[in-house]
Structure formats: structure tokens, C-alpha cells
Amino acid sequence: MWERVTSGQSGAAVFRGRGVYRKVTPDAEIEAATMSWLRAHGLPVAEVVDIGPDWLVTREIGGRTAADTWPEDLRPRVVDALAEVTRALHALPVDECPFDRSLAIVATEARQAAASGRIDLGDLDHERQGWTAAQLVAALDEQLPVMSEREVLAVTHGDWCLPNVVLNPETVIVIGLLDTGRAGRADRYTDLALMNRSLRSDALNAHYGTELADRYLNRCGHHAADDDKLGFYCLVDEFF
């Protein structure tokens, strides 16, 4: 018996069984592959136990997500744990990673998403609310040449935000990474931008805020010279 847990993006839905989760998604095969690769390289990713053409089944990971409302005194520890696992992820051997999420690939997918009407224009960041798909593509094309020249590849999660990280509530250690379907070789700011936005957002009611978001960036080695990358990779995320 499967109990529906939540609906995700891109048509994904998640169901809970006895000790396992079943995710229905058109990207099941790539997500299973990225999960297995990351797990084989020491990252805390659930074990894939079964897969079909549009679904996969994984072992359950107990714990609480970083998007949950943590006690105020534990929030710095949550942020430090996020930074630690971010650094570990980005330190993986990029030359061995078989998944290409570089700007050359992602920009093509972004334009395809715009052309096919797959962008959720009702869920844009505050500064782009009311934009059309054409405006998003124009902004992407304007910045893409410079950002491509400055791209430095690492192994990235690709959808690196608070709901996709599970921690042990007692030890405040990361024990699970979720939704890895966009993982692959990309600039590390693909992850830093999205987690920074997630930490500063009021939408999740997780109560981290500016100070802890800055703490996260500092612990991940962010430099002020790359502030524009934070904005650019949030723009890229609007397409997916």
C-alpha cells in the first residue's frame, strides 16, 4: 500500500511504503543514475532498490529536512552542516562525473523549456515576477557569454535547496540528499546560488535569514567578486 506524500515539480509525485519511497517522474532513469553515482562516491544518498520507465523506489531516510523549523540554537549547526556537505560534494572528482550540466547544455534546455511553455511563470523570484518566457531568455542570452567564460566546473547537486537536505535531528549531521536528477558537472555557484536564496527566503518559514545565509556562503568560500554569479544561477533556475 502506497501513501501519497507530496507532489513535486516536473510532474513528480512521491509515495511512502514500508521502509521505502516511490517517486514517479519522467526523469527516473537519470535520477537513479545520479543517486547511485553520488552514493558510490560517499555522499549520503538513498539506495535505489527498483526502477521503472517513469518511477524509482529508494530506501527510506529518516530525519528532518533543513526546511523544517529548527530550534533557534540549532540553526547555525544546520547551516554549518549544509556548508560541510556542500564542500564535500564540490570536492568530488569532476573528471569522473558522467553527467554534464554545464552552461552549454543547460542553456539549450532552458531555451527548449521556454519554447515549449514548460516554465512556471507564476513561480518566479520576486525580482522577475510578471516576466514572460521571452524576457527570461533575453536575460539569459545577455549574461551567458560572460558567465560561460567564468564557468569553473565542479560536481553539483543542481537543485540545492533546504527541502532537499535531510539531517539527523539529534546530531545535526546531514544523512540524506534528495532530488538529485539535475546533479552533474556545473559551476559550483549552481548550488551556492540556490541554497543562498533558500536560506534567505521567508516562503519556507524556516527562519534562517541574512546572517546565517552569509555564514553559509562564507563557509563555502564565496568571494564578493562572484556576487553576480549568485543572481545569474538563480535566473537559470527559473527555467526548470
Per-residue pLDDT band for 104 (boundaries 50, 70, 90) equals very high
Domain of residue 12, CATH code? 3.30.200.20
Residues 151 and 80 in one domain: yes
Residues 72 and 148 in one domain: yes
pLDDT at 6 over 70: no
**Containing domain of residue 28, as a range?**
3-59
Residues 49 and 72 in one domain: no
The two beta strands, 3-7 and 64-65, are unpaired
Instruction: For 158-210, write each residue's pLDDT tens digit.
Output: 999 999 999 999 999 999 999 999 999 999 999 999 999 999 987 776 789 99
For the chain, what percent of residues have pLDDT higher than 70?
Answer: 97
Residues 33 and 98 in one domain: no
Whether 100 is catalytic is no
Per-residue pLDDT band for 31 (boundaries 50, 70, 90) equals very high
Residues 31 and 130 in one domain: no
Per-residue pLDDT band for 109 (boundaries 50, 70, 90) equals very high
Q: What integer pLDDT is reported at residue 207 of this predicted model?
A: 84
- The angle at the Cα of 56, spanning 50 to 58, to the nearest 5 degrees, equals 70
Residues 91 and 188 in one domain: yes
**Who's near 228: CB < 8 A, 6+ residues apart?**
none
Q: Average of pLDDT values for 45-52?
A: 95
- Residue pair 212/181 in contact by the 8 Å Cβ criterion: no
Which residue, 44, 59, 74, sits at the end of a domain? 59
Instruction: For 62-77, write each residue's pLDDT tens digit.
Output: 999 999 999 999 999 9
- Residue pair 79/216 in contact by the 8 Å Cβ criterion: yes
Residues 79 and 44 in one domain: no
pLDDT at 11 over 90: no
Domain count, the chain: 2
Q: What integer pLDDT is reported at residue 7 of this predicted model?
A: 46
Residues 27 and 113 in one domain: no
Residues 190 and 81 in one domain: yes
How many angstroms separate the CA atoms of 48 and 32, rounded?
6
Per DSSP, what are the bridge partners of residue 139?
Answer: none
Residues 21 and 125 in one domain: no
Q: Average of pLDDT values for 106-132?
A: 97
Domain of residue 120, CATH code? 3.90.1200.10
The active-site residue, picked from 95, 125, 141, 159, is 159
Burial 156-179 (b: 16+ CB within 10 A, else e): bbbbbbbbbbbbbeeebebbbbbb
Residues 54 and 153 in one domain: no
Instruction: For 201-233, write each residue's pLDDT tens digit.
Output: 877 767 899 999 999 999 999 999 999 999 999
Please state, rounded to an integer, the average pLDDT across all residues of the chain.
94
Residues 151 and 36 in one domain: no
